[in-house]
Amino acid sequence: MKLSDWARSQGITYKTAYRWFKDGNLPIEAKQMPTGTILVFPPDEGEIGNVALYARVSSSDQKDDLTRQLGRLVEFAAGKGMTVAKTVSEIGSGLNGRRPKLLQLLRDPKVSDIIVEHRDRLARFGSEYIEAALLASGRRLIVVDQSEMRDDLVQDMIDVLVSFCARLYGRRAAKDRAKRGLEAMRDAPGPQDKT
């Protein structure tokens, strides 16, 4: 398959995949043809023991960080001699339990190992439960950087408080807006009031 097709299927840009190829960090076997076309040879779909890379950032303005994060994961896997079958990148909150790409990755029985840079890239809370569930099914979670900074704990607490406040004040604001809307409809002159 062409490098561009493989990059599209992995959710990364061709430019990133080409840079990985030139740097020797492409997670799968690839060969450049005399015409200049780069062909990649992904592992067989039925192959057991596939490794997946998972990268996540919180907001779309961090897309560059997402690309760098994936690059570090690719380098780690290549350094360990692992064959990467899938790269998954996602933009979403670590507190959100409904990240479709992560859920799809966790449901895939062909993926034996999931590599993440930090535990909080997988989930802000409860990554231990995900790891235990993977181990119970004979799979592994590999965390590249085990260290956790104190600032992350403070940020986790802030994230939880913001989430609770948004729910509390969001409901109140919606209720107030509905109330003001109903009052405005009652006070507005209707078609029968035009005399």
Mind telling me the catalytic residues?
Answer: 58
DSSP type of residue 37: -
Residue 168, helix vs strand vs coil: helix
Residue 162, helix vs strand vs coil: helix
Residue 10, helix vs strand vs coil: helix
Residue 30, helix vs strand vs coil: strand
Nearest residue to 118 via CA among 161, 69, 51: 69
Residue 2: strand pairing partners: 39
Instruction: Look up residue 143 and give its two tokens.
Output: 């965390």
Q: Give CA separation, 101 vs 30, 52, 62, 87, in Å.
A: 26, 12, 18, 10
